[in-house]
């Protein structure tokens, strides 16, 4: 029953209807209400928030204020607070991430194109002039100019380089950890520098492709470089995929900065940041898989066939993931996000604001 202090409202009937709708929404869930009921709930919420503000201004009926405040808090929670399931890891993997991958396919296509162009440039330059390897392959990778010259000149040196010699597991763990940190740092750099209009991201990703192409050209002096492919692909497939996702995230931010559109740069960045962060997050497991493969597959005594089978498994897994993501992205989830439009601008007002409901 509504307290007598609510007589400042035009009638007690709207409050009773408001309370009845809240009871139904809490018992059955928002999705069980009809569209007309949801629209009415949003309208009654705005009306009662205004009534609550007037009652607080008069401050002559504490019981009515407490009752109306409780109703408005319940309505605010139903209309604007997302349920716990919507913030769960399952929702992230089942809806948010597929949606981000689907919405950013253009940036991903550009990133893969940049990697392919860089690989082609590096391969052609090093193939035509092997001395260009000294400039294209950084010493930070552990290859001195003399070592590169020996690999180019000698098939025996290339065979020795690709020899399957296992390492102790403790050394592999340390090596894999350092690789994960290094690769993640490279991906983070490609992602974060997208804020500078995307230009550093483009240059970094092109250079990554140039390094891969230039170093790979060394082993294509052999008639059948299957051993090199078996050495490269098990860790290269997840690693290059992860780096490309980071580059695509950086390109998303760069596009928002360089071409924000009519709504302004702030709005464009706000829109692009969520998908970009999800792309970077999706790259982290791939960096972990790449570090594991580089430590325990590349640095192992596994034969060529086994290594190529592992690489094919990784490639098939990534393709299957993309197919699943595409199907999930096409699904149209039914939710109540559009209630924000029905309920009006009051959703920017927190429950503990001066004129709004207080929990």
Nearest CA-CA partner of 208 in 234, 229, 182: 182
pLDDT value, residue 4: 46
Q: Are 348 and 40 in contact (CB under 8 A)?
A: no
pLDDT for the residue 88: 53
Ranges of residues in the chain with a pLDDT under 50 are 1-11, 86, 332-340, 342-343, 346-353
Angle value at C-alpha 49, between 46 and 53, nearest 5 degrees: 140
How many angstroms separate the CA atoms of 281 and 242, rounded? 10
CB 22 within 8 A of CB 38: no
DSSP designation for 294: I
CA distance 60 to 56: 8
Domain ranges of the chain: 4-81+336-348, 90-302
Whole-model pTM? 0.69
Q: What is the pLDDT of residue 357?
A: 59
Burial 330-349 (b: 16+ CB within 10 A, else e): eeeeeebeebeebbeebeee
- Asked if 81 and 351 touch (Cβ cutoff 8 Å), the reply is no
| Six token digits for residue 153 | 């000149």
**In this predicted structure, what is the pLDDT of residue 343?**
47
Distance (Å, whole) CA 211 – CA 131 = 14
């Amino acid at each position: 029953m509504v307290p007598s202090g609510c007589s400042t409202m035009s009638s007690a009937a709207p409050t009773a209807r408001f309370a009845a709708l809240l009871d139904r929404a809490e018992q059955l869930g928002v999705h069980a209400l009809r569209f007309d009921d949801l629209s009415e709930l949003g309208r009654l919420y705005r009306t009662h928030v205004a009534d609550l503000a007037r009652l607080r201004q008069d401050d002559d009926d504490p019981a009515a204020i407490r009752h109306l405040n409780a109703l408005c808090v319940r309505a605010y929670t139903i209309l604007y607070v997302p349920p716990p399931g919507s913030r769960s890891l399952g929702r992230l993997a089942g809806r948010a991430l597929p949606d981000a991958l689907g919405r950013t396919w253009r940036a991903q296509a550009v990133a893969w194109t940049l990697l392919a162009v860089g690989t082609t440039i590096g391969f052609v330059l090093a193939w035509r002039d092997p001395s260009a390897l000294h400039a294209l392959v950084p010493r930070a990778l552990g290859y001195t100019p003399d070592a590169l010259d020996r690999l180019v000149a000698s098939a025996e040196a290339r065979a020795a380089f690709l020899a399957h010699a296992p390492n102790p597991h403790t050394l592999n763990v340390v090596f894999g950890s350092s690789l994960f940190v290094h690769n993640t740092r490279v991906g983070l750099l490609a992602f974060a520098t997208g804020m500078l209009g995307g230009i550093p991201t483009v240059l970094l990703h092109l250079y990554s492709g140039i390094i891969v192409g230039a170093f790979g050209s060394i082993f294509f002096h052999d008639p059948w470089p299957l051993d090199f492919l078996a050495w490269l692909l098990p860790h290269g497939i997840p690693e290059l995929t992860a780096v490309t996702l980071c580059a695509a995230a950086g390109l998303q931010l760069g596009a928002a900065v360089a071409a924000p559109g009519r709504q302004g740069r702030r709005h464009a960045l706000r829109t692009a940041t969520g998908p970009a962060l999800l792309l970077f997050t999706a790259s982290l497991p791939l960096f972990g898989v790449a570090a594991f493969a580089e430590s325990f597959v590349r640095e192992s005594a596994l034969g060529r066939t086994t290594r190529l089978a592992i690489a094919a498994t990784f490639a098939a897994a990534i393709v299957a993931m993309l197919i699943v993501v595409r199907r999930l992205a096409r699904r149209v989830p039914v939710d109540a996000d559009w209630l924000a439009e029905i309920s009006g601008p009051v959703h920017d007002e927190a429950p503990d604001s001066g004129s709004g409901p207080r929990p």
